[in-house]
Each structure stands twice: as C-alpha cells, then as structure tokens.
Amino acid sequence: MSKVCFPSTAIFDCDFHMATLSQYFLSSIVAFILYRWVQFHRTKAKIDSIPTLGSNNFVGAYIDGWRFLFKGHEIVKEGYKKYHGNVFKISTPNTSSGWTIVVSGAALHDDLRKAPSEILDMQATTTDVLQTEYLFGPHAHINEFQIAVVRTPLTRAMAGGFGELTDEIVDACSTYLPKGDDWEVLPRTHEKLVHVICRTANRLFVGLPVCRDPEYLKVQEEWTIHTFLDATILHLLPSFVKPVVGPLMSKIHPSLKTVTKVLGPIIQERIDKDAKYGSDWEGRPSDLISWLLDYAPPEFKTVEDMVVRIMFVNAAAIHTSTMGLSAVLFDLAAHREYIEPLRKEIEETTRKLGWTKEAMVQMHKLDSFIKESFRLSGMAGVTGMRKAMKEFTFSNGVKVPPGYTIGVASCGVHADPEIYEDPESFDGYRFFKSEETAWKNQAVVLDPTFVLFGLGRHACPGRFFAVNEVKAVVSHVLLNYDIKLPGDATQVMPGIWFASTRSPNPKAEILFRKRRLDGA
C-alpha cells in the first residue's frame, strides 16, 4: 500500500505566524493613528476659538507639524504678519499638546511679562519640550535652584573672574584657530567655536585643569544635542510607550557617569569640607560647584545632583553662546568695513580699563554690532515660551486653558518694518546712535522690540554672562586676527533651522590669518 505524504506543517506554521505578525503590525498602526486622531481633536477643541495658521484638520495639521520642524521661522513670520497684535496657534510636534500659541504686539507681550509663575511657568515648558520625565529619570522634577545661581553669583563672579576668562580665551583660540601669517580656512568653523566657548565657560564653572579635560568637554558639548533630538522623537510617540522608550534613548546616564568620574572626587571633597568647616573655609574656590552647594537644600547636596546641575548649566551656556559668537564672527567677516572702527574702540577701552568686565560694558559699538547680529541671525523664531498651569486670559479676552505652550513671535518682531527701518539689511550701528543713548540699547537690556532673551522676570538669567563672553572672544579675535569669508564674499551662508531654532550652516567657513598691522 503506497504511503501518502503531506506537506510539512512547518510551512503552514510559518505562514500563520507571518500573517499574525502582519495583522498585529497593521492593527498597531491603525490603533496609533486612532489614538493620535482622538488626541488631536481633544486638544484642539479646547483652543478652537484661537485662529489657526495652517490646517485645522487632522491630516493637514500633522503635515503642518512636520513643516514646522524645518520651516518654523517662516511659519511664525507668516502668522506675525497675518495676526499682528493678536494670538494665533500653530501645529508643533515638540510640545505635549501638539500646539504652540503665539502672541505678538506690545500689549500681549506685557501680559506675558506680568503673568505669575504659578499660572504661566517657564520651567514647565523646559520639562515638556525636553521630555525630561522620560529622558532624565529621577532628575526630571528637581528643584531648579541652579537658575538662581546663574542669575546671581555666576553673573556677579564675572567681574572678579574676568582675568581667568580672558586667559582661557587666549589659550583656546591659540589651540583651535589658525596660527599662520597667510589666509587659512578654519574647517568646521562653528564646531571649533563650540570648543572655545565650552572651555571659556568652564574655566569659570569648574576651573583648571577640568576645563581643559578632553573627556569632560566632549560630554558637555555633545549631550545637549542628543537630548534635543531624542526629545523631538519622543514627542512623536504615544504617551504610554515613552516611559519604556525614553530611558533606552537617553544619553544622560552614560554622560553622568563620565562627568562624575571627572568631577565626583572634587565635589565630594567640597561637600565634606563644607560639612566640617562651614561654607567660608579658607581657600574655598569661587566656582559653580561652591555656588550650587550654597544654594542647595540639604537633600540635594550630593555628588550626583551637583553633576546633573553642572551639566544643565553647561547645556544652557554653551550652544546658545556659540550660536551667537558664530553669527557675530560671520557677520564681521562679511562686513569687514566695521572691523577697524571696532578694533579702535576695543584698543582704546582696554588701554583705559584693562581686560575687565567693565571694559566689555563700555564697548558700545561692539555691543550694537553684536545685538544687530543676534537680531538678524534669529537663533530662535519663538522665545519667552511658557506653559499654562492654570487658565490664562490675555487683556484682549483670549483664554488659554492649562497644558498649552505660549511664546512670542520673536522672528516676526525682529523683522517688523514698523519697529526697525529696513529690517532685512544689516546695520552694525543700529543700536548705537550716541554715547548718551547707548546704555538703554544694550543687548542685555530687556525690551519688547528685542525679545531674543525673553520677557520680564523669566528672561534668560545667563544673558549677562553670555553677551560679555561673546564680547571678550570677539575682542580677542579682532585684535589678533584678520578674518574674511571665502572668495571675499559679503553674504553669510544661510543658517539651518530646526523647530524654529537656527544654527549656523555647518558648511560655512571663515578664513583667518594673524593680524597684519600694515592693513594689507
């Protein structure tokens, strides 16, 4: 009797499992889309009374959100023109609600400036935008006393520590900038300037020799960028998967480990001495570690907590300052007619006052040039961002419910022809008309027509440090180097925008040579 052979059941099992996986995958996609659809309509319904720039439907708003990541500054400018003096909303994938409510006009700016923290909170915006609850683990909800440290002791310490800052600027520029007598391109110019700023800031933060430790510097320069990218990705995921995916993506833990290896023994010794002798023992360094310990409640006086806060301060100090420095140097290289007048001011001022913070404050023409460069380069399309913790009502009657992010259309303000004459043109002396009026027009002064640093009590607490640091680096460069753009160009290569934040074009370069006193 012949034997009947049947096909192997393994083939059917394989087909079955593949079908099951395909069905599961498709079901997951459908469930995710349904989840986002419900979430979209739930959040939009609460702010339907606020006009939308772009689409109001699910698919259109989703596309607009992706457009915002790459064209955010153009979208904000369009909204500023269309709804000037009013409030509008735009789809933004980097906020928990999926929307950013943008305001323009002096009256609404004033409303934001006066709003108390318990209603409109700046720190909650940072927690939201950076997804700290998922990326930072136990450090997500910390007492942010480091902001007070930046606002007061760090700012005050610049006067006494300015000699160390200038010493580090000299050494860092010697290390990273060209040294030859002939023109030499500085490859990856912005990246090299990150090194200069990171070392300079950390000379005041943690001092020698740590401020020159390659491993320490590498972490401080890189982890912030990873955090912003990881946070943007997390915003695109459903809330219920973030607690799982976030820790897997986070770069904070290996970064903490590296910085703790470098700083841990120093911090522990400082904690032990403070416990034994009090906080005024002889020889106690005046640096970020000491200031943080002075401001820290007892439960936060640990090595791990101090390391995290030092990293947070670095994150705020390094990249924004470098973007500002890059913008100024690129503009100087493009507008070389300003170089000799600025050199003259720098030489006269430092001859009279030395390399001091006071000298930086007296450089009014340089300050004007820096402020104009900041205005045109933008750096951020929306500033002064705050999250509504309770319902907030603007003076025009517009209500914003809790959970939504509000910001100022800074790129619209800075390009407004009613505020600035010929706003698209570069005028290095725009903010310097006379010595008498120069003080009120300084870059650090809060002004509703210049909102790069925010508004009111929540304005950037580190702006004094950042502007004076940029001034000091630019002053050193101008006195020691000649600079120009490749091909003697007079136009700076356009920057790269991401989620309304501008960075210099990574391909843009500056040519350097040792300064020639003959002017050739």
pLDDT (mean) for 496-502? 82
The per-residue pLDDT for 456 is: 83
For 256, the token pair is 């903490």
Which string of b and e fits 416-452 if b means at least 16 CB within 10 Å?
beeebeebeebbbebbbeeeeebeebbbbeebbebbb
265-274 own/partner pairs: CB under 8 Å, 24+ apart: 266/206, 266/210, 267/303, 267/306, 267/307, 268/303, 271/301, 271/302, 271/303, 274/301
Q: Is 425 within a domain?
A: yes
The per-residue pLDDT for 122 is: 85
Rounded CA-CA distance 461/452 in Å is: 12
Choice among 86-90, 134-138, 258-262, 430-434 with the minimum mean pLDDT: 134-138
Tens of pLDDT, residue by residue over 299-308, are 999 999 999 8
All residues at 6 or more sequence positions from 334 whose CB lies less than 8 Å from its CB, including other chains: 426, 485, 489, 490, 491, 492
Q: Are 506 and 188 in contact (CB under 8 A)?
A: yes
Q: Is 479 within a domain?
A: yes
The per-residue pLDDT for 15 is: 55
pLDDT (mean) for 5-34? 61
The per-residue pLDDT for 228 is: 79
DSSP states along 267-330: HHHHHHHHHHH-TT-TT---SHHHHHHHH--GGG-SHHHHHHHHHHHHHHHHHHHHHHHHHHHH
Distances (CA, A) of 287 to 290, 291, 444: 5, 6, 23
Tens of pLDDT, residue by residue over 160-215, are 999 999 999 999 999 999 989 999 999 999 999 999 999 999 999 999 999 999 99
Q: Is 64 within a domain?
A: no
Three-class secondary structure of residue 137 per DSSP: helix
Of 10, 415, 409, 476, whose CA–CA distance to 200 is shortest?
476
Of 352, 369, 372, 349, whose CA–CA distance to 361 is shortest?
349
Q: Are 373 and 328 in contact (CB under 8 A)?
A: yes
DSSP states along 195-235: HHHHHHHHHHHT-TTGGG-HHHHHHHHHHHHHHHHHHHHHH
3 band by pLDDT with thresholds 50, 70 and 90: very low
Provide the domain limits for residue 339: 137-514
pLDDT (mean) for 125-137? 80
Q: Are 399 and 469 in contact (CB under 8 A)?
A: no
pLDDT (mean) for 494-514? 89
For 204, the token pair is 């005041």
The per-residue pLDDT for 18 is: 54
Of 443, 466, 125, 204, whose CA–CA distance to 316 is shortest?
466
The per-residue pLDDT for 124 is: 84
Tens of pLDDT, residue by residue over 60-94, are 888 988 899 888 889 999 999 999 999 999 999 88
- Look-up: residue for tokens 């180097």? 481
The per-residue pLDDT for 141 is: 60
Angle (CA) 385-390-395 rounded to 5° is: 70
All residues at 6 or more sequence positions from 17 whose CB lies less than 8 Å from its CB, including other chains: none
pLDDT (mean) for 31-40? 76
Rounded CA-CA distance 481/186 in Å is: 12
Q: Is 243 within a domain?
A: yes
Q: Could you tell me the CATH number of the domain that includes residue 203?
A: 1.10.630.10
Would you tell me how many other CB atoms lie within 10 Å of the CB of residue 339? 16
pLDDT at residue 410 greater than cutoff 80: yes
Tens of pLDDT, residue by residue over 328-377, are 999 999 999 999 999 999 999 999 999 999 999 999 999 999 999 999 98
Rounded CA-CA distance 226/5 in Å is: 59
Q: How many domains does the chain have?
A: 1
Q: How many angstroms from the chain centroid is the CA of residue 268? A: 30
Rounded CA-CA distance 508/49 in Å is: 44
pLDDT at residue 24 greater than cutoff 90: no
Q: Any binding-site annotation on 211? A: no
Q: Is 129 within a domain?
A: no
- β-partners of residue 407 are 102
Most confident by average pLDDT, 7-16, 51-60, 62-71, 403-412: 403-412
**Mean pLDDT rounded to a whole number for the chain:** 89
Q: Is 255 within a domain?
A: yes
Supply the Cα-derived Rg of the chain in whole angstroms: 26
Tens of pLDDT, residue by residue over 258-297, are 999 999 999 999 999 999 999 999 999 999 999 999 999 9
Q: Is 405 within a domain?
A: yes
Rounded CA-CA distance 397/390 in Å is: 15
Q: Are 486 and 492 in contact (CB under 8 A)?
A: no
Angle (CA) 101-315-221 rounded to 5° is: 130
The per-residue pLDDT for 135 is: 81
- Look-up: residue for tokens 């469930």? 31
The per-residue pLDDT for 2 is: 45
Rounded CA-CA distance 267/274 in Å is: 11
The bridge status of strand 496-498 relative to strand 481-484 is: unpaired
Q: Is 369 within a domain?
A: yes
For 22, the token pair is 């395909």
pLDDT (mean) for 229-254? 81
pLDDT at residue 17 greater than cutoff 50: yes
Distances (CA, A) of 272 to 262, 302, 478: 17, 10, 45
